[in-house]
Structure 1
């Protein structure tokens, strides 16, 4: 057994965009040596003015409590990016180290897109680990730089002992129909060329690493079928 490798993966749906039937989600990785690694933290408790599209459900703190974990039990928070539906509860994890792409953290400092959530993601720098590009966080947990949706977005590859490799695309490929080598007409992407490059990168990784399961960030039909906390993948 790899004593500091990955043991299990929990999936959590913590909210939604009701109009579009889009799930808002987080993930928890547990390691053999007892580490709890949260990937994203969902929506803020109180939505900023003008953010009426989102609806909180059973939030990340309540879901973690249901398996006996308090916010201070989380050792690491992987920030895929600082959008409101991904970093809304970051400040609750008072003992965690935050891991984010350097490019993203630098961009967020002056990007109005992330200003409303600044109190959550703008943590003391001695608690933020800035990474540059693809990074093995620990054995069985790899961060994959996938810019496009935002500069410095990151997806996550989790290698589970029984399931095998699981790719969390997050917002690099939020919906299954976008996971293709074909050209996509996506007007919502601020950088279509980078989005396409990141999609191809993840497709190549899926083939090369023989990924057993690809979990898309906001694919409602898929999320309805997945195991969710308290169930887990191992």
Structure 2
């Protein structure tokens, strides 16, 4: 477990919206003992507050209080207080408020950034948010320690260069943010894992699932957070303003 002042101190799970029948759209805030704020993903843009139609024609519900900026404000923070923004990938429900964080360093896998910047149609519709000219990116290659106790895990398959996040907390222990490498708990059954409707590469999906399962066993992960698991988010996990320490 991480016990130094430089390591993670708190992990907030923020539900920014629902997509379809109760499916959560999350972001995450990691605060370190030495005052660094690390945000993971940013959700939908402010223009989608209310009830709108999202990817695949799914109904999106985002209340005013759900919007990322307002959830940060409820924790005493503003966008300028964020030091790092971990970009797991540029899908619309994960990257459509990135433009609000010009003072942060945005961390993304090089492979993903190059695919998106190359004009892939999947990431074009919200490009104005993740490719704003005042944003500052750092490109990483593969598994990377961002800060002590915060590790980026390359998990391609859903999209090229997708990344999950391992957070080592002092009391809870290691927490794995699977993001869309395993969006629901059932995805961890490697033998039954198949390509979902939004996944781009089935072989990559299966390999990344196996990688996360092996990592969870090896590191003694105490909690795996599945970003789009309605049952998990409605039953039992702590959501902001509560936190994991």
TM-score by length of 1: 0.95
- Which of these residues, 227, 230, 233, is aligned with residue 238 of structure 2? 227
User: Which residue number corresponds to residue 44 of structure 1?
Assistant: 45
Aligned: 1:127 with 2:133:
no
Tell me if 1:181 matches 2:182: no
Partner SS for 1:14:
strand
Distance 1:4 1:127 in 2: 23
Cα distance in 2, alignment partners of residues 108 and 14 from structure 1: 24
1:93 equivalent in structure 2: 101
Is 1:24 matched up with 2:9? no
**1:212 alignment partner in structure 2:** 222
- Could you say what the CA RMSD is over the residues aligned between the two structures, in angstroms? 1.6
What is the CA distance between 1:184 and its match in structure 2? 2.5
Q: Distance in 2 between matches of 1:125 and 1:67?
A: 25
Q: Partner residue of 2:159? A: 150
Change in CA separation of 1:132 and 1:125 when aligned onto 2, cut-off 3 Å: farther
Which consecutive residues of structure 1, in runs of 5 or more, have no partner in the other structure?
none
Deviation larger for 68-77 or 53-62: 53-62
Structure in which a larger fraction of residues adopt helix: 2
Check whether the contact 2:194–2:205 (CA below 8 A) recurs between aligned residues: no
How far apart are residue 193 of structure 1 and its match? 0.4
Structure 1 runs of 4+ with >3 Å offset: 123-126
TM-score by length of 2: 0.91
Number of corresponding residues:
232
Conserved 8 A contact 2:194-2:206: no
Counterpart position of 2:200: 190
1:227, 1:144 → 2: CA distance? 23
